[in-house]
């Protein structure tokens, strides 16, 4: 589902993506302006929906034990999609997926991401090499 958000950005830029919710320019600017500070603490799926409303597109199923990505977008292809990447698995003990990072646009560059403390855990604990 996280790779799907990159493809969705490509499709959005070409006008091919059908959005479930279209953000107004003011809503988009507010979400984009809040993302960095909002990611300073750990959040979960209900927190994201409470803060930013229904996403424009959800990647992943409805099962709260699995990961997903929430995308927020306008109809303007020049506005990069705002994507929250969430993680969960059956062994995590979490009842809801936790937010790992927010990404502005479909780039996979580190500068495009703002990580939550949960998102930094694997990187700092040595579980992920790279």
Q: What is the DSSP string of 41-69?
A: S--BHHHHHHHH-S-SEEES-S-TTS-EE
Helix (H) or strand (E) holding 87: strand 82-87
Highest averaged pLDDT of the listed ranges 43-52, 88-97, 102-111, 114-123: 43-52
How far does Cα 75 stand from its chain's mean position? Answer: 18
- Which residue range is the domain that position 17 belongs to? 2-119
Token pair, residue 16, equals: 């091919």
Question: pLDDT category, 2, cuts 50, 70, 90?
Answer: low
Between 16 and 123, the more confident residue is 16
Q: Quick check: is 126 in a domain?
A: no
Q: Quick check: is 81 in a domain?
A: yes
How high is the pLDDT of residue 34? 95
What share of residues in the chain are helix, strand, coil (percent, to 5)? Answer: 35, 20, 45
Quick: pLDDT tens for 72-88: 999 999 999 999 999 99
Question: pLDDT category, 8, cuts 50, 70, 90?
Answer: confident
DSSP code of residue 114:
E
How many domains in the chain?
A: 1
Q: Quick check: is 41 in a domain?
A: yes
Percent of the chain with pLDDT over 70: 87
Q: Quick check: is 51 in a domain?
A: yes
Q: Quick check: is 52 in a domain?
A: yes
């Amino acid at each position: 589902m996280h790779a799907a958000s990159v493809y969705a950005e490509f499709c959005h830029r070409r006008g091919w993506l059908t959005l479930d919710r279209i953000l107004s320019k003011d809503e988009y600017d507010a979400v984009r302006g809040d993302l960095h500070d909002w990611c300073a603490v750990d959040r979960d799926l209900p927190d994201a929906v409470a803060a930013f409303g229904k996403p424009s597109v959800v990647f992943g199923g409805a099962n709260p034990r699995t990961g997903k990505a929430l995308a927020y977008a306008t109809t303007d292809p020049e506005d990069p999609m705002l994507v929250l990447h969430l993680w969960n698995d059956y062994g995590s003990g979490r009842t809801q997926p936790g937010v790992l990072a927010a990404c502005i646009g479909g780039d996979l560059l580190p500068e495009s991401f703002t990580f939550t403390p949960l998102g930094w855990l694997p990187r700092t604990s040595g579980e992920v090499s790279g």
